[in-house]
Amino acid sequence: MIYLRQFRPLNLVIMLLLMLSVHFFLIRPIMDAFKLVLVLDALHQVLLAISCVLIAAGGYLINNYYDYETDLQNKPAQVIADKNWLLNTYFPVTVTGIALGVYVSYRAGLMNLAIVHILCTFALWKYAERWKGIALVGNVVVSLLLGILVLVPALFEFISLGVLHSVEPEAFRYLGITLLVYALFSFWSNLCRELVKTLEDESGDRATGWQTFTVRYGAKATRSLLIVLFALAMAGLLSVVLYQQRTTDWKPMAYTLFAVVLPLLISLLFFLKSRQTADYHRVSNWLKIWMLGGISTLGIYYLFFYLP
């Protein structure tokens, strides 16, 4: 079990659900509505999602490798005995992810898209090796990667979406705005969680020399920044709720309030009372629930509210 934890399986499941939801509950229904053909069939979209998840899994392994001494300080019960196992497992997992990405790029007729997987692999390595220890830089980089993950299914449908833009520009505009909203949500929610984790891991990061935002600027500055981020997130979500209230029936709005707004509110309340490592760990878990709730809206809206 401890070896399985090195892959952060819940995080990988969230990423897989995110990519598949974007394809099956957003892109495909719009294309089907106008009887337009997608470049990739369902199987190859699943393979694309798996390729990205494998690269993310490799990212967790290499991060744990470089964080080995820090994790011994912060969470010794979750550290495996053989540090080299992390590196030895990293290479086949990551190479398999890149190979799948190259294959799907070939099937999409856009071989240059294979660079996406290679650049993400490089960014995850540099994050683990160096960027994580630079205040805010690592947090922003890894959050951007999660935001980009939302756009990958659309990127690999570049040709078919070009056709959509030509024949149905309003539908293309709706798709683009929706993708950007979910990409921004993924980026923002992960950035909040990353900063909370710097509070949770402050003692270990300080002992091993990582210059995270909390180590460099202090817990008070980190808490102040997080309150601003939480407030902006809440404002954005409430604007979505108001938009839904004007344009749809009450059911999508109610689900947004329950699955997205409520977990954020609980996270904020717990955060305001947090002072110890265990407190911040609880906030981090609630933020993961918030992320999952936001991602789930793609499928829930389509299957229960909008499916013909």
Percent of the chain exceeding pLDDT 90 equals: 77
Q: Give the sign of the dihedral formed by CA 111, CA 112, CA 113, CA 114.
A: positive
pLDDT of residue 67: 82
pLDDT of residue 290: 97
With 0-12 CB in 10 A as exposed, 13-18 as middle and 19+ as buried, what is 276? Answer: exposed
Q: Does residue 79 surpass a pLDDT of 80?
A: no
For range 141-145, the mean pLDDT:
95
For range 47-76, the mean pLDDT:
89
Q: Does residue 45 surpass a pLDDT of 70?
A: yes
For range 50-78, the mean pLDDT:
87
Q: What is the largest CA-CA distance in the chain?
A: 59
For range 133-145, the mean pLDDT:
93
CA angle 62, 192, 285 (to 5 degrees): 75
CA of 42: how far to CAs of 28, 31, 98, 116, in Å? 9, 13, 19, 20
Structural domain of 266: 2-306
SS3 211: strand
Residue 73's pLDDT band (boundaries 50, 70, 90)? confident
SS3 81: coil
How many separate domains does the chain show?
1
Residue 308's pLDDT band (boundaries 50, 70, 90)? low
Q: What is the pTM of this model?
A: 0.94
Q: Does residue 178 surpass a pLDDT of 80?
A: yes
For range 150-175, the mean pLDDT:
95
Euclidean distance between CA atoms 154 and 108, whole angstroms: 11
Is 298:154 a contact under the CB 8 Å cutoff?
no
For range 246-267, the mean pLDDT:
92
Q: Does residue 51 surpass a pLDDT of 90?
A: yes
pLDDT of residue 112: 92
Percent of the chain exceeding pLDDT 70 equals: 100
For range 54-73, the mean pLDDT:
88
Which residues, other chains included, contact 213 with Cβ-Cβ below 8 Å and sequence gap of 6+?
A: 135, 136, 139, 195, 198, 221, 222, 225
Q: Which residue has the higher pLDDT, 293 or 72?
A: 293
Residue 281's pLDDT band (boundaries 50, 70, 90)? very high
pLDDT of residue 83: 86
CA of 256: how far to CAs of 25, 65, 148, 221, in Å? 16, 38, 23, 31
Give the gyration radius of the chain's Cα atoms.
Answer: 20
pLDDT of residue 82: 81
Q: For the chain, give the mean pLDDT.
A: 92
Residue 91's pLDDT band (boundaries 50, 70, 90)? very high
pLDDT of residue 68: 81
